[in-house]
Chains A and B, each alone.
Chain A
Amino acid sequence: MPELVGIYTTPGPVADCARHLQARGFTELEIYAPAAFPELDDVLDPKPSRVRLWTLIGGLLGVVTGYAMTIWMSYDWPVVIGGKPFASIPTYTIIGFELTILFGGLATLFGLLVVGRLPYGRFGHEDRAYSARFSGDEFGLAVVCSERDVEEVTALLRASDAKEVNLVAP
């Protein structure tokens, strides 16, 4: 299947054109951007990013680990001070808090890797539509289409302010 790549200089037209293409039934789209732009975030995948689930689960796991570890260890080797309880919850809150952050942060990193499909998936230049221009200051909108649609897609990309349209080897 041929793949067409429209090159843009601003994010607005990329988002507009991608939506337009989706409405016309083209689903195999990819957007490349040199920086984060909120207007591009929800074009291809309108659902909220699943990274938040990772952070939440990591954080909860951290807080449970922090309290469970400290309390269990206090009872496993009790330090007897007067009639006081073996576990002192207020001070263990510090450990619980630190582990919430630690586990939450590490889970966020793993979430970024899994949700962003890193480092698996298309690695570096193996992706035929990718170009070093997209780590410069240009945007790309890649569309996979059947041979008979090449003309239509090219016209659509051009109409949406693409400064160039390139056909990548099929």
Chain B
Amino acid sequence: MSAPSATAPSALPAAPRRDSKINRDILAVMDGISPGYLLLVAICLLSVTAAGATWIYQVYEGLGIGGYTHPTFWGVYIVTFVFWVGIAHAGTLISAILYLFRAKWRNAINRSAEAMTVFAVLTAAQFLGIHVGRIWKSYFILPYPNQRGLWVNFRSPLEWDTFAITTYATISIVFFFVGLLPDLAIARDRARGLKKLIYTALALGWQGTARQWKSHSRSVLHLSGLATPLVLSVHSVVSWDFAMSIVPGWHATIFAPYFVAGAIFSGFAMVLTVMIPVRRIYGLEEYINDYHFENMARFLLLTSWIVGYAYAIEYFIAWYSGVEPEQTTFWLRAFGPYWFSTWTMISCNVIFPQLFWFRRLRTHIPTLFVVSTLINIGMWFERYVIIITSLGNEYDPAVWGIYTPTWAELTIFAGSFSFFAMLFLLFMKFFPVIAISEMKELAIHERAHGAGQGGH
């Protein structure tokens, strides 16, 4: 055999001599476990265990260990459920909607946002089980053939919610996995031992052939097309859990867009709250920079105005409708026993985000971190206001009641944050925290246009 100008057989190295910088920087996040990291995981684990134990006690003892008093039978569990479903919206928004709009700035944050979506949906879904009285009967919500010949009632918003949340969880996981596939191959090619075996299995033999990339791009496009209406539908359906009833404060047509805007608002805030420390600790400043932060801050400002508008319209309609129970509910929201929640909500969601009118503050990391955290707090209180104040002050003043969360509810509430944080901490060590291949696409494009002008 003759191979005059080609190098000898088996000259192809198994691993590159000089790996690409993007690979090295981002895969470095997955290496090594610091004591601080372990401590955080341990705290989360402890809190999740406490929540789990509380839940078992609740199953044994009954929902009475919560702060439920007539007429408020939806409490912190449902508030926290809606909160986490909301958080889950940023990932799909960033991945799907910004993908369709070709907003390249999403590349730095889409992976972690998608991961947050998956974890937030998983956290939220647990609350559907936690808040029901008889967990062992919760499968009744599924349309399965049974001896009584009964089927579920598809007219119920709770049934719609089951389908919406299940679909959302499944599609988020699919989206996450499809995006992760090329990066799993990167990890596979650089791992050793057991890790290599795991990544080899997960990467499904991805090689980055033209055929694979073509079907991959097509799939991402189609999944984005499917996920865009899905993300709008999921929180609309959650809002209809409330809006389909006749409770004053809930029965409003603005609820669907109001909830969707709020979900995107809180989701973006959570992405910032989580990514600011991650970027700092793992030195990812080169990949997530002022440009991304500024765009995210603008998004927060925009959605803050939509949410603020919805708050204003709710009050206006309550006054304009002339319906007394509606007016009373809204008056009591601001000046009744729950005034604290309402004013926390308004100041965190509408007033503080106005700081982002200033360019300097949009790129000032401590401000971004503080405001995004405040928005998270404000958005939790928004759901508290909507649910508790409306249920507590229904039509008949004789049955009004005051709801205060108990230790049990607060333990489980805290456990949900730990559960989310724990999954995210594990995610950082198992998967690339930034979509490597998408970053490379940009870098190689730049290189091609810098070097080979004649070629194009």
A interface residues (Cβ-Cβ under 8 A, vs B) = 2, 4-5, 9-13, 16, 30-38, 40-45, 49-52, 55, 59, 69-70, 73-74, 76-77, 79, 88, 91-92, 94-95, 97-99, 101-102, 104-106, 108-109, 111-113, 115-125, 127, 129-138, 147, 150-151, 154-155, 158, 161, 164-170
Distance in angstroms from A153 CB to nearest chain B CB is 9
Distance in angstroms from A91 CB to nearest chain B CB is 5
Residue of A50, A69, A106, A147 near B1 (CB, 8 A) is A147
12 chain-A/chain-B pairs, Cβ below 8 angstroms? A10-B452, A12-B456, A31-B210, A32-B209, A36-B216, A76-B151, A106-B170, A119-B204, A134-B208, A137-B22, A164-B7, A165-B6
Distance in angstroms from A62 CB to nearest chain B CB is 9
Residue of B5, B23, B222, B441 near A165 (CB, 8 A) is B5
CB closest chain-A residue, reference B447: A10
B408-444, CB < 8 A from A: 437-438, 440-441, 443-444
If A74-B154, A123-B205 touch, whether A49 touches B218 (CB-CB below 8 Å) is yes
Do B7 and A166 have beta carbons less than 8 Å apart? yes
B398 within 8 A of A: no
User: What secondary structure prevails in chain B residues at the interface with A?
Assistant: helix
Q: Which residues of A contact B219 (CB under 8 A)?
A: 51, 108-109, 111-112
Distance in angstroms from B142 CB to nearest chain A CB is 12
Number of residue pairs A-B, CB distance < 8 angstroms: 262
B interface residues (Cβ-Cβ under 8 A, vs A) = 1-16, 19-20, 22-23, 143, 149-155, 159-160, 163-164, 166-167, 170-171, 174-175, 177-178, 182, 185-186, 188-190, 200, 203-219, 222-223, 226-227, 229-230, 233, 237, 437-438, 440-441, 443-444, 447-448, 451-452, 455-456
Q: Which residues of B contact A2 (CB under 8 A)?
A: 1, 3
Distance in angstroms from A54 CB to nearest chain B CB is 8
Do B16 and A136 have beta carbons less than 8 Å apart? yes
Do B174 and A106 have beta carbons less than 8 Å apart? yes
If A33-B210, A49-B214, A55-B226 touch, whether A124 touches B205 (CB-CB below 8 Å) is yes
If A33-B213, A41-B213 touch, whether A150 touches B226 (CB-CB below 8 Å) is no
Bound Cα distance A124, B186 (Å): 11
Q: Which residues of B contact A105 (CB under 8 A)?
A: 167, 170-171, 174-175, 223, 226-227
Do A150 and B6 have beta carbons less than 8 Å apart? yes
Distance in angstroms from A8 CB to nearest chain B CB is 10
Bound Cα distance A2, B9 (Å): 10
Residue of A41, A129, A138 near B210 (CB, 8 A) is A41
Do B451 and A76 have beta carbons less than 8 Å apart? no
Do A34 and B190 have beta carbons less than 8 Å apart? no
Do B441 and A52 have beta carbons less than 8 Å apart? no
If A112-B215, A165-B7, A166-B12 touch, whether A34 touches B208 (CB-CB below 8 Å) is yes
Bound Cα distance A20, B22 (Å): 32
Q: Which residues of B contact A167 (CB under 8 A)?
A: 3, 6-9, 11
CB closest chain-B residue, reference A142: B209
Distance in angstroms from A56 CB to nearest chain B CB is 9
Bound Cα distance A152, B9 (Å): 17
Do B189 and A132 have beta carbons less than 8 Å apart? yes
Bound Cα distance A124, B444 (Å): 24
Q: Which residues of A contact B178 (CB under 8 A)?
A: 109, 112
Give 3 nearest A-B pairs by CB, closest first: A119-B204, A132-B189, A137-B20
Q: Which residues of B contact A97 (CB under 8 A)?
A: 229, 233
Do A11 and B440 have beta carbons less than 8 Å apart? no
If A91-B160, A98-B163, A113-B204 touch, whether A133 touches B16 (CB-CB below 8 Å) is yes
Bound Cα distance A73, B359 (Å): 57
Do B212 and A116 have beta carbons less than 8 Å apart? yes
Distance in angstroms from A88 CB to nearest chain B CB is 6
Do B448 and A11 have beta carbons less than 8 Å apart? yes
Q: Which residues of A contact B452 (CB under 8 A)?
A: 10, 12-13, 161
Q: Which residues of B contact A104 (CB under 8 A)?
A: 222, 226
Q: Which residues of A contact B5 (CB under 8 A)?
A: 151, 154-155, 158, 165
In the complex, besides A102-B166, A115-B215, 6 extra interface pairs with C-beta distance below 8 angstroms are A31-B210, A32-B208, A101-B233, A108-B223, A122-B205, A168-B12
CB closest chain-A residue, reference B445: A37
If A136-B16, A167-B9, A169-B9 touch, whether A102 touches B167 (CB-CB below 8 Å) is yes
If A35-B438, A112-B219, A135-B189 touch, whether A45 touches B160 (CB-CB below 8 Å) is no
Bound Cα distance A9, B233 (Å): 43
Bound Cα distance A28, B212 (Å): 16
If A12-B452, A112-B215, A147-B1 touch, whether A73 touches B208 (CB-CB below 8 Å) is no
Distance in angstroms from B47 CB to nearest chain A CB is 33
Distance in angstroms from A17 CB to nearest chain B CB is 11
CB closest chain-A residue, reference B438: A35
If A13-B455, A124-B205 touch, whether A95 touches B154 (CB-CB below 8 Å) is yes
Q: Which residues of B contact A170 (CB under 8 A)?
A: 1, 9
Q: Which residues of B contact A9 (CB under 8 A)?
A: 444, 447, 451
Bound Cα distance A129, B12 (Å): 8
Bound Cα distance A109, B174 (Å): 7
CB closest chain-B residue, reference A132: B189
If A36-B217, A112-B215, A121-B205 touch, whether A150 touches B3 (CB-CB below 8 Å) is yes
